[in-house]
Amino acid sequence: MKVNEFAKKCGMSVLVGKEKSDKQLSGVYVCDLLSWVMSKADKGTAWITVHTNINIIAVALLTEVSCIIIPENINVESETIKRAEEEGIVILSSELSAYEICSKAYGYGIGKG
């Protein structure tokens, strides 16, 4: 499933990167410890985090995730939005919790080989 399809099915907003939201999702990774994400997140996954500072953009670039998902309608810092636009990183916003997003992804078959 593509990022934009998943976002639509889950009622998410594309905050940044609508033109890049046609990337395929290979899975979902949830973690807030940036160094851990750098060593564990797989290319092509959706990364769910509550962090909204500019450092998440660097981690997304390094790991080549398909998108960053910010749960629970957490406000994303304007500096982060600006950097995401510059770097071509997709950021989605959801009212759902990280658990609910993962449950929906699993239900849609994302990450099931």
Identify the CATH number of the domain in which residue 80 sits: 3.40.1390.20
As beta bridge partners, residue 100 has: none
| 82 within a domain of the structure (yes/no) | yes
Q: What's the number of domains the chain is made of?
A: 1
Question: Would 13 be classed as within a structural domain?
Answer: yes
Does 113 fall in a domain?
A: no
Residue 100 structural domain: 3-107
pLDDT band at 113 (very low <50, low <70, confident <90, very high): low
Q: Assess if residue 57 is contained within a domain.
A: yes
Tell me the pLDDT of the chain averaged across its residues: 96
Is a pLDDT exceeding 60 seen at residue 2? yes
pLDDT digits (tens, 9 = 90+) for 29-43: 999 999 999 999 999
Question: How large a percentage of the chain has pLDDT more than 90?
Answer: 94
SS (H, E, C) the chain: CEHHHHHHHHCCEEEECHHHCCCECCEEEECCCHHHHHHHCCCCEEEECCCCCCHHHHHHHHHCCCEEEECCCCCCCHHHHHHHHHHCCCEEECCCCHHHHHHHHHHCCCCCC
User: Phi/psi of residue 103, each to 5°?
Assistant: -60, -45
Please check whether residue 112 lies inside any domain of the structure: no
Quick check: is 29 in a domain?
A: yes
